[in-house]
Amino acid sequence: MDSQLHGQWYRGGTSKCWLFSGDEMPADRAQIALALTAAFGSGDDRQLNGIGGASSTTSKAAIISPSAIPGIDISYLFAQVGIGASAVEFTSNCGNCASAVALYAIQNGLVRPTGDRTSVRMINENTRSVLVAEVATPDRRIPTDGLETIPGSAMPGVPVNVFFENVDGVSTGELLPLGQATSRLDVGTRTVTVSAIDAGAPACFIAAESLGMTGIETLPEVRLRLPELLAVRTAASPAMGLSIEGEEASPAVPKIGIVAAPQDYVTTTGERIAAGDCDILVRMVSMFDPHPAIGITSAIAIARDAFVEGSLVHDILGADHPAHDTPTDDDQEVSIRIGTPAGVVTCRVQLDADGRVTRLGVRRVARRIANAAIDLPDVDIALPLVG
């Protein structure tokens, strides 16, 4: 008889994630990968034989457990599940899925509502980042639906503010893995200007003009430039200490995208965005395709780079932006408005009195889509006995 895997399907921000209780999954990551690739149908590039959505934003999972760490409610392991290849990436995190994880924790009794807004403190096992998600729980009720929307998704959900703490150097040990705010990187016959930063997730941002781009490219236009963008990832990975020279770079990190100064553009839904409505233009790559909006860990990296003097993001924002000022009050908050193909995503950056970044956050929405028993094909997976 085929094995069954019990999971819950959630939308978190602009992603969809399958969420699993830690006590229903193997403890070994290799076994987890076997279970997930079997469940998602990863060997097929359409994932027709499984639950995967055949895109990087819909082929995600997380395994959630209560945390034994004082002050932390839950821990979760994020998995980017392969499409067309039976492989799973455990090297990064997903802020969109983190909003779903927080809602899952409340809806499944891991965290009890405490007021109109309930904080869920989480640790991401991939990067050891600490996240705090504030979930709307009006009148201390467990939420089942909500009315808020965000750029990149017209459908409403439960409001969730996701904040990242202690983001600097989570993967490499260095905020600036290349040793400086801006570097020149040789990519084939071209030299490009980049800012490499490790904040929330390792990321490498490319000056759009280095590639003859503008920053307002549509998704099909970015797709035409994928070979060049992926070549930057291949070059940046060993330079940032994320892989060994000659070794195949992870498709998940570093996050890769182009950045440019604001100008007028039209979103994928036809909305007109004026140059004055955003602080920076960003076009990101998600695995092997353009991201329809922006991953939250990428948004966190952009916002953190805004406070690195001499970085591409810092310089694009310009001297008049609050990111260039020293705060005069404790816990000052600065907003970074990121122009993405789907619209403007705002990242909130909280600073102490000395101008040091303490937390970075983005507003998301989440909702549970389904509760399911997933039939697995006949593979050798040691699933725990539950119930």
Query: How much is the average pLDDT of 77-101?
Result: 94
How far, in Å, CA of 204 to CA of 226, rounded?
Answer: 15
Q: What is the dihedral of CA 34, 39, 40, 45, to 10 degrees?
A: 70
Mean pLDDT is lowest, of 204-213, 360-369, 374-383, for 374-383
Residue 387 has pLDDT above 50, yes or no: no
Q: How does DSSP assign 233-294, residue by residue? A: HHHHHHHTTSS-TTSPPPSSSSEEEEEE----EE-TTS-EE-GGG-SEEEEEEETTEE-SS-
Mean pLDDT is lowest, of 17-31, 157-171, 245-259, for 245-259
pLDDT band at 116 (very low <50, low <70, confident <90, very high): very high
Query: How much is the average pLDDT of 207-218?
Result: 96
Query: How much is the average pLDDT of 187-208?
Result: 94
- Please report the pLDDT score of residue 189 as a whole number: 86
Query: How much is the average pLDDT of 117-122?
Result: 98
- Please report the pLDDT score of residue 4 as a whole number: 87
How far, in Å, CA of 120 to CA of 64, rounded?
Answer: 13
- Please report the pLDDT score of residue 240 as a whole number: 95
Q: How does DSSP assign 331-362, residue by residue? A: T-EEEEEEEETTEEEEEEEEE-TTS-EEEEEE
pLDDT band at 33 (very low <50, low <70, confident <90, very high): very high
- Please report the pLDDT score of residue 370 as a whole number: 97
Q: Are strands 117-124 and 74-81 parallel, antiparallel or unpaired?
A: parallel
Residue 83 has pLDDT above 70, yes or no: yes
Q: Are strands 272-273 and 357-375 parallel, antiparallel or unpaired?
A: unpaired
- Please report the pLDDT score of residue 354 as a whole number: 85
Tokens, residue 106:
């409340």
CA nearest to 281, candidates 264, 266, 297, 259: 259
pLDDT band at 292 (very low <50, low <70, confident <90, very high): very high
Query: How much is the average pLDDT of 193-218?
Result: 96
CA nearest to 169, candidates 34, 304, 64: 304
pLDDT band at 385 (very low <50, low <70, confident <90, very high): very low
Dihedrals phi, psi of 354, to nearest 5 degrees = -95, 5
Residue 386 has pLDDT above 60, yes or no: no
Residue 232 DSSP one-character state: H
Tokens, residue 54:
């055949």
What domains are there in the chain, each with its CATH number?
4-165+367-375 (3.10.310.10), 182-351 (3.10.310.10)
Query: How much is the average pLDDT of 104-121?
Result: 97
Place of tokens 């003009």: 209
- Summarised one tens digit per residue, pLDDT across range 327-376 is 666 558 999 999 999 999 999 999 988 889 999 999 999 999 999 999 98
Query: How much is the average pLDDT of 27-33?
Result: 92
Write down the mean pLDDT value for the chain. 92
- Please report the pLDDT score of residue 100 as a whole number: 98
In this structure, the number of other CB atoms found within 10 A of the CB of residue 285 comes to 24
Cβ contacts of residue 320 below 8 Å, gap of 6+?
none
Query: How much is the average pLDDT of 147-172?
Result: 92
H/E segment holding residue 36: helix 29-40
How far, in Å, CA of 376 to CA of 24, rounded?
Answer: 14
- Please report the pLDDT score of residue 327 as a whole number: 66
The SS3 call for residue 366 is: strand
Residue 313 has pLDDT above 90, yes or no: yes
Share of the chain above pLDDT 90, in %: 80
367, 11 contact by CB (below 8 A): yes
The model's pTM is 0.88
Residue 70 has pLDDT above 70, yes or no: yes
